[in-house]
Structure 1
Amino acid sequence: MNRQERRVERSGEGQPRPDAPALVTGATSGLGRSLARALADRGWTVLVHGRDEGRCAEVVDELRAAGGTAHPYLADLSSLRETAELGRKVAAEHPSLGLLVNNAGVGAGRDSRRREVSRDGHELRLAVNYLAPVVLTHALRSPLRAAGSAQVLNIGSIGQSPVDPEDVQFTRRYDGMEAYTRSKFALAAFTFTIAEEYAADGIRVNCVHPANYMDTTMVTEAGVRPWSSVAEGTAAVLHAVDEGARGASGQYYNESRRAKAHRLAYDAGTQRRLTSLTDRLIAPAEGASGPSW
């Protein structure tokens, strides 16, 4: 066991064994897989989300072989309807949910000039990195409330660019890296938008930038040489989980430090405009019940 792995393991010392499960999206590789393993080591029942059945089963088997409890959940988060169905399935099978980690994401891609779209026709990074977490968080609010002191943890980025309300789908002068940073700005703003309301339900909502350019497929696909490890990112996420367990909410963490997100992510007018835009985009997936922020 190396020094970084020991640091991740020690970060769970003294933490109570959770009674309700944790759902980690994008848990079949990179940070998500490492985090699923770390949470299982802490005693969490881990709901392992992925797109590929084989890879999902592999992670579940790995956690169970190490003495943990884990269950697979398949969904393509580039489809908002499939994302909503994932939320409904988890809620039906686990009426109490202790932790939701919105980790799944899409980076800048191999060719940052190539604009990609989701299955619903949305710009891909906006869809997977932002709209899907919003839909999933909405769908799981009831089981999170039932847990009594649950958490939503959004995996953000230090790179944040305000969304252009006149071109939310980024159809003009597209750049994959900016599309990524726009989606992460939106995710941070969503965190701060819902934190106070969800606190009334006993749900803490925070956002964390785990580390700079971790050694993940997302980073290597973008042609970037990694600066840090997944183990370092995992330690930062666990620190944010511990902060939430102590009552922190509406916070942004840069690695293991409380920090400030982009100033406009806290702006009430920006939040209202983004909420209105988001409501229209996700309405077809959420059905007649409509958004519930």
Structure 2
Amino acid sequence: METMLKNRRALITGSNNGLGETIAKMLAKEGVAVIIHGRNEERANQVAEEIRLEGGNAQVVLGDLSTDNGAETVAKKSLEGGPIDILINNAGAYAHTGWMDTTPQNWLTTYNLNVVSYVRMIQLILPSMKKNGWGRIINIGGGLGTQPLAIQPHYSASLAARHNLSVSLARELSGTGITSNVVSPGAIINLQTEQWLKTQAPKHNWGSNFDEIEKNAVRELVPNDRGRFGRPEEIAAAVLYLVGPHSDYVSGAILRVDGGTVKSI
């Protein structure tokens, strides 16, 4: 499938590691000039260099999106190379706390990091998209936004807000040539998660090899129709679809990539 994304420019927030890194690398392979963002300069430069070694185009922009000044710096530096065609809001954070040990300040901090930072970047990047009459805004959400657990209530609420604002933005952008959509991942495996599962396996009798561990851990922690964790590449592929020309009729959508974890219609 021809994505026709060559020479588009994309800013992927929180792309110096994890899911954001995977998204950036997949877009770069399609000819997109990617802007790697983070707060760890060494790691961001490493990701950008890996992309360049594969023949891709990548630059690095550093900044803290939790402040107005930090977000403005990131946007200004990103736009120096030309208009931003694609904005992937991915940066965020969470903590494993529950209702009674998550303070009101924790709620405020989480909302600022996970929601207001998205708003900042949208408001700063959107004018260049409107000027060109084309753009793609993808906000990374999550299944906990629609099917929350008892733990991490502040994080789940922030995901719900991401979903809501994305649909509202799609209505705002009607007729502009710009779309706003959500990719909502389920539980995704990465190096840190894999290591944690291996350390927990003996305590829960999940098995000794990772195939066993994954299957049993999913059954207990995040039951889904596929019986496994998702892979970052599967989330990145959904992003790739939504930023490409074949998704032009998709607006205000929440694309779940969760193996059927969320049970709704």
Shift of 1:262: 9.5
Q: Corresponding residue for 2:222?
A: none
Structure 1 alignment gaps of length 5 or more: 1-12, 163-174, 264-293
Deviates more, 1:145-154 or 1:248-257: 248-257
8 Å Cα contact 1:252-1:261 kept in structure 2: no
Q: Deviations over 1:49-92 (max 9, x none)?
A: 1111111101110111110000101012232331233223323x
- 2:69 maps to amino acid: R
Shift of 1:195: 0.9
Q: Are 1:77 and 2:77 counterparts?
A: no
Structure with the greater alpha carbon radius of gyration? 2
Report the secondary structure of 2:152's partner residue.
Answer: helix
Shift of 1:161: 6.0
1:250-289 correspondence runs (5 A)? 250-255=252-257
CA distance in 1, matches of 2:12, 2:181: 15
Kindly report the root-mean-square deviation, in angstroms, between the aligned alpha carbons of the 2 structures: 3.1
Q: Corresponding residue for 2:203?
A: none
Q: Are 1:154 and 2:139 counterparts?
A: yes
Report the secondary structure of 1:199's partner residue.
Answer: coil
Shift of 1:244: 6.7
1:40-189 correspondence runs (5 A)? 40-91=28-79, 93-107=80-94, 109-112=95-98, 113-115=101-103, 123-160=108-145, 177-189=152-164
| Percent identical | 25
Q: Corresponding residue for 2:243?
A: 241
Q: Are 1:15 and 2:3 counterparts?
A: yes
1:227-238 correspondence runs (5 A)? 227-238=229-240
Report the secondary structure of 2:183's partner residue.
Answer: strand
CA distance in 2, matches of 1:180, 1:240: 24
- 1:235 maps to amino acid: A
Report the secondary structure of 1:16's partner residue.
Answer: coil
- 1:213 maps to amino acid: A
Shift of 1:116: 8.4
Deviates more, 1:152-161 or 1:74-83: 74-83
- Picking from 212, 215, 234, the partner of 2:189 is 215
- 1:151 maps to amino acid: R
Shift of 1:235: 2.1
Report the secondary structure of 1:76's partner residue.
Answer: coil
8 Å Cα contact 1:26-1:50 kept in structure 2: yes
CA distance in 1, matches of 2:159, 2:193: 15
CA distance in 2, matches of 1:152, 1:218: 28
- The 3 A distance-change label for structure 1 pair 209 and 218 is farther
Structure 2 alignment gaps of length 5 or more: 201-216, 219-228
- The 3 A distance-change label for structure 1 pair 100 and 18 is same
8 Å Cα contact 1:152-1:204 kept in structure 2: yes
CA distance in 2, matches of 1:202, 1:54: 36
Report the secondary structure of 1:182's partner residue.
Answer: helix
CA distance in 1, matches of 2:187, 2:26: 20
- The 3 A distance-change label for structure 1 pair 17 and 240 is closer
CA distance in 1, matches of 2:263, 2:252: 11
Q: Deviations over 1:211-241 (max 9, x none)?
A: x210247867998967222122222222333
Report the secondary structure of 1:15's partner residue.
Answer: coil
Q: Are 1:197 and 2:172 counterparts?
A: yes
Q: TM-score with structure 2 length normalisation?
A: 0.76
Q: Deviations over 1:1-54 (max 9, x none)?
A: xxxxxxxxxxxx311133330000110111110111000000000011111111
- The 3 A distance-change label for structure 1 pair 94 and 261 is farther
Q: Deviations over 1:155-212 (max 9, x none)?
A: 01121269xxxxxxxxxxxx761111111111111111121222332211111113x2
- The 3 A distance-change label for structure 1 pair 254 and 96 is same
